[in-house]
A = this chain, B = another copy of it.
Amino acid sequence: MADQTVRAALEAFVSERDWGQFHTPENLAKSISIESAELLECFQWSPQADTERVRDELADVLTYCHLLAARIGVDPDEIVLDKLARTREKYPVDKARGRSTKYDQL
């Protein structure tokens, strides 16, 4: 289970500002896409990027992911581990090793 410090800190931040009203799952999903694109912008013209800027934009994506997880009542670590268990089956080591091919074409 995910460490509760982040969750508690985000909850306090949002509640102090009365921002829960804006945080519908749909708006949070839009926000995750928007912040992901700002992260991608670090790499727009080159594979090289400023690490500090990457870290900052990644933090923004993660923040909205945590808010959405809280909103739909799931634990961020648990859903990652649960999905990973299923992905393991879709990409067996012997077939997937060293290849970036999608599972349905393996």
Binding site for B on A (CB under 8 A): 1-3, 5-6, 9-10, 13, 16-19, 21-22, 24-27, 29-34, 36-47, 49, 51, 54-56, 58-63, 65-66, 68-69, 72, 74, 76-77, 79-84, 87-88, 91, 93, 96-98, 100
The answer to whether A61 and B32 have CB atoms under 8 Å apart is yes
A1: which B residues are within 8 A, CB to CB? 3
Question: Which of B18, B68, B80, B93 is within 8 Å of A66, CB to CB?
Answer: B80
Contacts of A47 in B (CB 8 A): 24-26
* Contact A79–B51 (Cβ < 8 Å): no
Give A90 Cβ to nearest chain B Cβ, in Å. 11
